[in-house]
Structure 1
Amino acid sequence: MKKKLASLILLPIVLFSTIASCGKNNSSGSSSTPYFHEDNIPDDNYRNYYEIFVYSYCDSNGDKIGDLNGITSKLEYIRDLGYTGIWLTPIFTSSSLHKYNASSYYEIDASFGTLEDFDKLILKAHALGIKVILDLAINHSSKNASYFQKAVEAHKKKINFSSLNDEEKKYQDFYVFYDTEDQAKQSRKTYYKVPNCNFYYEANFDSDMPEFNFDNENVWQEFDNIMTFWQQKGVDGFRLDAVKYYYLNETNKNVTALSRIKQIALRNDPKAYIVGECWDSNSTIASYYQSEVDSYFYFGASQGNGFIRSSMGLDGADKGSYVRNLKTMIEYSNGHIPAPFLDNHDMSRLGVSDLAYCKFQYGLLSMLNGNTFTYYGDEIGMGGTVSNNDANARTHMDWSKSDEGETNNPYNGTGIYNFDPVEDQLKDPTSLINYYKRATNVRNQFPSIARGEIGTTYEASKRDRQVMIEKKYKDETIEIVFNFSKTNTTDYQTDKELVCYLQATDDIIKKDNTYTLPGYGIAIFK
C-alpha cells in the first residue's frame, strides 16, 4: 500500500544545501518546508502500535470515563501520528477499573460502551489502515464470572460425592481447585479459600482473579469461542496478558499452550497477529518463541534500566550498547517480530522535563527492528512514577486546556504533565508530539527500519558519540546515523542522499559530502 501524505508539520532547517526533514527533497529554498512523506507499508504483520488504557484516554459522553466512542473520535489523530495499530487494554465486563478480571468475555463493559460502538470503532480503524488488537487476559477471570460460580457449585458437589449433571461435569474443574489446604500449600502457588466452602482456588494476582485450569479441554473450548467471537467482529489479533502464569513458571507447558492459542487465531484469520507479555529475562523470552507466537514484548529495551536509556547515559559514553542490544533482540526473536517499547500501563512512564532527551529516547525506539509499542500520552511527555500505585501511570490524557474529552484519573492516580497538551503541541513544529509524528511516520516510509537485516555497523571513538547502523530489506538499503551526545556535534561523510533527519536540538549542516549532526541528531541516508 502506497499513499502520499502531507502533514501540517513545519520543520526549520538550516543547511548549506536545502533538504527536507524526511521524504522527498524540497529545493524551494524556503527555511521552513512542509513535511511530506510517502507511506510504503508492506502487507504483513509489522506495524507501529499505540497502547490505549481505555478508562483514561477520551470521554465522549461527559461521565469522565474514557470509552470506545472517545477512541473512535481520535483515530484520525492516531493515524496522523503514524500509528498503524492500536492495542486496547481490556474492554470486557468487569468490576475493576483496569478490567483485567473479566466477568464476561462477550460483552463490552457498560462504562466503555456497547458492541455496536465497538463495531463502529473497528470499521473506522480499518478504513484508516489501523489494525486493532484486544488485550486478552485468559490466565484468570473474575470471581463474578458465571464460569467461576458454576465451577464452585460443581466442585462442591464433586468433593461431597454427589452426582453431577452434564453441565456440572463441564465446570467441576474449570479452575485450579485444591481439595485441602495441604494440597494448596504443596502447589507453591498463591491460593485462597473459597468462601463458605472447605476447598481452595489458585489466584496468583489477586483474590478476585481465580486461575483457569489449562489442563481442561472444556476451558480450551471456551477460549476458542472467545477468540472466534472477537475475530469474527473484525479484531486483528490479541495481546496475551501474563503468559508465564498460564502454568506458573512451567515454560514448556506454557509454550505448548501458546502454540495452541496461535493456531486458533490463525484458523480464524491467517493474518492474525499475537503479541505476548512474558515479563522475564531475554533468554526466557527467547524460549517462548518456540510457540510461534508472532511477538513478545522486549522488556530489555524498556524502563529506566533498559538499553535505550542506558545507551544515553554519560552523554552517550555507552553508545555501543544500543547496537549490541539491537542485535541481541533480533537474535532472541528467532526469526519472529520483536516488540520493543519504552513503558506501559504497568511501569513508570519515562517522560521527563528535558525535551531533547524525550525526543531522542523515542528516536532510538523508532529506529529499532520489529513492532514498536507506544503508550498513550508518551507523545506529549506524560510522566508518572509507579511504586505501589499503578494508577500513577494511567492518568488522563491531556487533550487541551479545556476539559473536553478529559477523563478522571484512576483512584489515587497522580500524573506528571511536563509539557503542553495535545492541542497546543500540534501547533508547535518543534514540540515533542511533532517529533513523534516524524519519527513514527519514517517507519512507514522506509520498511527496512522495522524489517531490515543488520549490515555494517560503526561506532566512532570514545570521544565521538557517533553510531551508524546499516539496514537492508529487499532492494532498500539505508544507513542510520546517530549522535548520542546531547552537547557535542559529530561529522559523517557519505555520498549517499540524506532522506530524513530527526531533530532533537539543532539543525543538521551539510558541506560538500560531510554532514554535521548536532546533539541527539538522527539522520537516514539512502
Structure 2
Amino acid sequence: MIFYELYLRSFYDSNEDGLGDLKGLKEKLDYLVELGVDHVWLLPIMKSPAFHGYTVSNFYEVNPVYGNLNDVKEVLSEGHKKGIKFVLDLPINHVAVTSDWFQKALKGEEPYKDWFVWANEKADLNEKRHWDDSKIWQKIGNKYFYGIFGPASPDLYFERKELWQEIKNIFKFWLDAGFDGFRLDAAKHIFDFDTETMRFKYQHEKNVEFWKEMISFIKSIKNEALVISEVWDAPEIVRKYEGIFDIGFNFPIAEDLKTTLKDENTQRFVETLNKCIPEYLPTGKVFSASGNFLTNHDMTRILSDLKSEEKVKLGFSIIYTLPGIPFIYYGEEIGMKGIPIDVNFTEDSQEPFHWYENGFGLGQTEWKGYKFNPPYSGNSYEEQAKDRNSILNIVKNLIKFRKNNSWIDNAKIDILNFDQNVVKLKVYDQLNEIIAYYNLKSSNSSFFLENGTRLLSIGENIIDGKNLKLAPYGVYVVKHK
C-alpha cells in the first residue's frame, strides 16, 4: 500500500475559482497513478467554516467549495477504476461553533445540550492544555464550554451513548458514498476529560472501548474498510491502541528520523529502529501496521526541516525500504517548503500544489499566496519532471521499488551492522530477503559488497568489482536470495 495525503483545496482547480475541488481531483487521478499511489488519504471535505476542515459544521454535507455528494461519488468511482482507494479523514472529537448541534445546545435544546461539556463551579477556567499555554475552557456569551483544540472547536461529550449512534450513522453515510475507510483524527481525545474533577485527563481505556465498538460497526458495513488512527504521543501511549486499528501513525519514528538525518547519527538511527518499530524486529509481533511518514499537514515540510534535497531523498529512501505502510504528504514529492506557525496555524504547510514553474496556469489553485514556494523556485511538477535526479523522480523510483516488493509491508528487520557512516539493514520474510545500506554522512563511504542483485540505488553510487562506493546520503539495496 502506498498512501498519499491529499489536501483538496490546494490540489487542482476545475472551475477557475482558485480553490481545489473534487472535479479537479478527478482530472488529476492520472497524476496519482503516474506517481504510483494506490491509496489516497483525503483531508476533511465536510462542510466547515475553517480552511483546513477540521471543525465540521455538518458531517453529512460536502463543503460546497469542493462540490457535492455526486462529485464525491464520481471521483471515488473513477479512482476505483484506476486502482486507487480512498480513506476519508473524519474529525469526530469536536464540531464547529457554527454546527447546528452546538447552536441548538446553546439554546438548551435536547439532546444537543448534553452533547457538550459546560463549566460548573468545579472548573478551573484558567486550566491550560499540557502541550502549550492554550486554555481548555472557551467563553461564548455567558457560558464556558470545554474545547481542548481552541474556541472554534467545542468537544463532544461521548459519555452520552446516543452520540455513539450518531457517529455510527456518519461512518455509514460516507462508506455508502464509496469511501474505503477512515483516518481517525485525535483518536486519543475522545475521552480526555474527567467530569468528576472537571479537569483534563486522558482516559485511554474508555477510548479503546469506544474505538473497538466503532471499528466493529465500520467492518460490519464494509469488511475490507481500512481504519487508520492518529495517536500523537510517546511509543508507550501509542502501544495502548495497538491491535484496534489497521494502521497507526508512527509519530515517534517521524520525529526521530528527522533528528537522525539532521545530526547524521548512525547510532541514533539504530536506536530509533529499536525504539519505534520493535514489532518488526525478529522477536516482535505486529498488531497494527506502522504508518511510516516524515511529515503531515500539522508539521514543517521536510525540505524546510532538513534543508538538503539529498537528505530528503535519504529520508524517503528509508521510509520506502522499512516495513510498515509508507505515507507521503502532497507536495513533498516535488520539494515544496512550508513552516507552520504552530498546530493552530498550519496554512503555511498547506500551500497550493505547484503544477507550473511560474506558479500560475489552468487548474492551479490560488487560495493562498506563495509564502514558501514562490514562482521559479524549482519545486513545481513542471520543473521536477524534467530532472531524473529530482525529488519527484526519486520518489517515483522508490514507490516503484516498493510496489514491486510489497512483501516489505509485513517484513521483519535485522540491524546487521553500523559504523560512523553507514547502517546495514536486513529486511526479510520467509521467502524474500534484501540488504539495505544507508549512508548518513556527507562523505563517500566504501566497503565490500555482498553478492546479490541490485534492486535500488539512490545517489551517485559506484560499483568497482566487489566494492561499493556509497555516495553522500546514498542508499543501495540488493536482493540477497
Q: Is the 8 A contact 1:274 1:294 kept in 2?
A: yes
* Match in the other structure for 1:392: 348
Q: Of residues 164, 175, 181 in structure 2, which corresponds to 1:220?
A: 164
* Match in the other structure for 2:288: 336
What is the DSSP-based 3-state SS (H/G/I as helix, E as strand, rest coil) of the residue aligned with 2:316? helix
CA deviations over 1:150-175 (Å, ceiling 9, x no partner): 233335xxxxxxxxxxxx3x334122
Q: Is the 8 A contact 2:235 2:276 kept in 1?
A: no
1:325 deviates by 4.3
Amino acid in the other structure paired with 2:42? L
Amino acid in the other structure paired with 1:218? E
Q: Of residues 496, 502, 508 in structure 1, which corresponds to 2:452?
A: 496
What is the DSSP-based 3-state SS (H/G/I as helix, E as strand, rest coil) of the residue aligned with 2:107? helix
CA distance in 1, matches of 2:286, 2:410: 13
Amino acid in the other structure paired with 2:183? R
1:134 deviates by 0.7
CA distance in 2, matches of 1:96, 1:282: 31
1:244 deviates by 2.0
CA distance in 2, matches of 1:314, 1:118: 44
Q: Of residues 448, 470, 477 in structure 1, which corresponds to 2:407?
A: 448
1:415 deviates by 2.1
* Match in the other structure for 2:67: 113
CA deviations over 1:328-384 (Å, ceiling 9, x no partner): 364798422011211111111111553222211111121122112111110111111
What is the DSSP-based 3-state SS (H/G/I as helix, E as strand, rest coil) of the residue aligned with 2:341? coil
CA deviations over 1:428-460 (Å, ceiling 9, x no partner): 212110000001121111123222122x42224
Is 2:133 the counterpart of 1:192?
Answer: no
CA distance in 2, matches of 1:270, 1:148: 33
CA distance in 1, matches of 2:154, 2:179: 26
Amino acid in the other structure paired with 2:386? K
1:110 deviates by 0.6
Is 2:193 the counterpart of 1:239?
Answer: no
CA distance in 2, matches of 1:194, 1:184: 16
Residues 149 and 493 from structure 1, CA distance in 2 versus in 1: closer, same or farther, beyond 3 angstroms?
same
CA deviations over 1:8-35 (Å, ceiling 9, x no partner): xxxxxxxxxxxxxxxxxxxxxxxxxxxx
Q: Is the 8 A contact 1:72 1:121 kept in 2?
A: yes
CA distance in 1, matches of 2:462, 2:252: 31
* Match in the other structure for 1:282: 235
CA distance in 2, matches of 1:194, 1:354: 46
CA deviations over 1:24-47 (Å, ceiling 9, x no partner): xxxxxxxxxxxxxxxxxxxxxxx2
1:181 deviates by 4.6
* Match in the other structure for 1:414: 371
Is 2:308 the counterpart of 1:351?
Answer: no
Amino acid in the other structure paired with 1:414? K
* Match in the other structure for 1:6: none
Q: Of residues 218, 229, 243 in structure 2, which corresponds to 1:265?
A: 218
What is the DSSP-based 3-state SS (H/G/I as helix, E as strand, rest coil) of the residue aligned with 1:400? coil
CA RMSD of aligned residues (A): 2.4
What is the DSSP-based 3-state SS (H/G/I as helix, E as strand, rest coil) of the residue aligned with 1:206? coil
What is the DSSP-based 3-state SS (H/G/I as helix, E as strand, rest coil) of the residue aligned with 1:437? helix
* Larger CA Rg, structure 1 vs 2: 1
Amino acid in the other structure paired with 2:416? Y
CA deviations over 1:183-212 (Å, ceiling 9, x no partner): 4659988223443x5x43211112221111
* Match in the other structure for 1:522: 475
Alignment of 1:138-177 (within 5 A): 138-154=92-108, 168=110, 170-177=111-118
Amino acid in the other structure paired with 1:320? V
Residues 76 and 181 from structure 1, CA distance in 2 versus in 1: closer, same or farther, beyond 3 angstroms?
farther
CA distance in 1, matches of 2:428, 2:394: 25
Q: Is the 8 A contact 1:289 1:333 kept in 2?
A: no
CA distance in 1, matches of 2:279, 2:292: 9
Amino acid in the other structure paired with 1:503? I
1:518 deviates by 2.3
Q: Is the 8 A contact 2:228 2:249 kept in 1?
A: yes
Amino acid in the other structure paired with 1:267? S
Amino acid in the other structure paired with 2:168? D
Q: Out of 434-443 and 383-392, give the one that drifted further.
A: 383-392
Show structure 2 runs of 5+ residues with no match.
130-135, 193-201
> TM-score scaled by structure 2?
0.88
Q: Is the 8 A contact 2:415 2:425 kept in 1?
A: yes
CA distance in 1, matches of 2:6, 2:57: 21
CA distance in 1, matches of 2:390, 2:288: 34
What is the DSSP-based 3-state SS (H/G/I as helix, E as strand, rest coil) of the residue aligned with 2:40? strand
* Match in the other structure for 1:4: none
What is the DSSP-based 3-state SS (H/G/I as helix, E as strand, rest coil) of the residue aligned with 2:238? helix
Is 2:270 the counterpart of 1:320?
Answer: yes
1:390 deviates by 1.4
Q: Is the 8 A contact 2:184 2:228 kept in 1?
A: yes
* Match in the other structure for 2:314: 360
Q: Of residues 22, 43, 49 in structure 2, which corresponds to 1:95?
A: 49
What is the DSSP-based 3-state SS (H/G/I as helix, E as strand, rest coil) of the residue aligned with 1:99? coil
CA deviations over 1:283-309 (Å, ceiling 9, x no partner): 11111225x112221111224xx2244
The answer to which structure, 1 or 2, has the higher relative contact order (CA under 8 A, 6+ apart) is 1
Amino acid in the other structure paired with 2:456? Y
Q: Of residues 62, 82, 86 in structure 1, which corresponds to 2:16?
A: 62
1:266 deviates by 0.8
Q: Of residues 256, 276, 293 in structure 1, which corresponds to 2:209?
A: 256
What is the DSSP-based 3-state SS (H/G/I as helix, E as strand, rest coil) of the residue aligned with 1:154? coil
CA distance in 1, matches of 2:444, 2:66: 49
Q: Of residues 472, 476, 482 in structure 1, which corresponds to 2:438?
A: 482
How many residue pairs align between the two structures? 454
What is the DSSP-based 3-state SS (H/G/I as helix, E as strand, rest coil) of the residue aligned with 1:144? coil
Is 2:22 the counterpart of 1:78?
Answer: no
